[in-house]
Amino acid sequence: MSIPGASVGEVVLAVEGVKLRLGETQILDGVTFDVRDRIRVDAVTGQVVALLGPSGVGKTRLLRIIAGLDPPDAGTVRGVKGESLPAGTVGVVFQDYPLLRHRTIDDNLVVAGRIGGLEREGAEKRAKELLETFGLADRASFYPGQLSGGQRQRAAIAQQLVVPRRFLLLDEPFSGLDPAALEDVSKLIVDVANLDELNTIVVITHDIRAAMSVSDSVYMLGRDHDGEGRIIPGAKIQATYDLVDEGLAWQEGLLENPRFVALEKEIRGRFREL
């Protein structure tokens, strides 16, 4: 039931055997998955991957490792052609949409450009383009404290895109959004991913439906249980769903598709066991 004309190419992100221990607690225990370039005939298609898992399972810890902010105790994270990914090469939009509160939105983007090596003029031009793309042109001179949650989220994503990046990690991007805002964010994620063939967006969330609606792959992060149902510390990838193989990616009206609903139910059931 794969989507016609779709195939996979090279590995763009490889997470292998990542382990992390905090004090006496094993948080991650051999997390392994890879993301491959999605190829579609006549369409630039980036990758959108959902990393699902219950609260406290270690999703954000894994995000920090992928972003190069924390080193793992063991394991590796590699990008296209096996390149390493130090901090600064992977864009991250944290859950609270951080921005420099003492700078205007326009300035926030310009600073990101300057840090990324652009000349001032180039950074200003890029900031202006992005603010228009993200519907924030009329908020350019506002401070972050003057924006609504949705505007702040868009500004935070735009800031990560001033300098072109292959990877963007979004931590709980659907949290606290109303249905209209959720649709907007979902569209934004897909649009950003499709800006370049090798763009990869990893969405870390526990919102199953929203995650499935934007992704081409779903990875479920969870812990094992012993014979008596007790949690064994140390999360790993417990299940993988290829939504392209299932014919459930890149389509309008997915949410009403009976097969989508059935898969969502299956994933939800699995989620409860994590």
Q: What is the 3-state secondary structure (H, E, C) of the chain?
A: CCCCCEEEEEEEEEEEEEEEEECCEEEEEEEEEEEEEEEECCECCCEEEEEECCCCCCHHHHHHHHCCCCCCCEEEEECHHHCECCCCCEEEECCCCCCCCCCCHHHHHHHHHHHCCCCHHHHHHHHHHHHHHCCCHHHCCCCHHHCCHHHHHHHHHHHHCCCCCCEEEEECCCCCCCHHHHHHHHHHHHHHHCCCCCCEEEEEECCHHHHHHHCCEEEEEEEEECCCCCEEEEEEEEEEEECCCCCCCCCCCHHHCHHHHHHHHHHHHHHHCC
CB of 248 to another protein, least distance (A): 31
Asked whether position 153 contacts another protein by CB under 8 A, the answer is no
Interface residue with another protein among 18, 31, 112, 161 (CB under 8 A) is: 112
Asked whether position 102 contacts another protein by CB under 8 A, the answer is yes
Asked whether position 140 contacts another protein by CB under 8 A, the answer is no
From the list 35-43, 132-140, 155-163, 253-261, the region that binds another protein by CB under 8 A is 155-163
Cβ–Cβ < 8 Å for 94, 172: no
Closer residue to another protein (CB): 145 or 179: 145
From the list 13-21, 108-116, 123-131, 193-201, the region that binds another protein by CB under 8 A is 108-116
Asked whether position 96 contacts another protein by CB under 8 A, the answer is yes
Residues numbered 62-91 forming contacts with another protein, rule: CB under 8 A: 64, 67, 69, 87-91
Asked whether position 115 contacts another protein by CB under 8 A, the answer is yes
Closer residue to another protein (CB): 160 or 238: 160
CB of 95 to another protein, least distance (A): 9
Closer residue to another protein (CB): 14 or 69: 69
Residues numbered 208-247 forming contacts with another protein, rule: CB under 8 A: none
Q: Which positions touch another protein (CB under 8 A)?
A: 64, 67, 69, 87-92, 94, 96, 98-102, 111-112, 115-116, 143-146, 159-160, 163
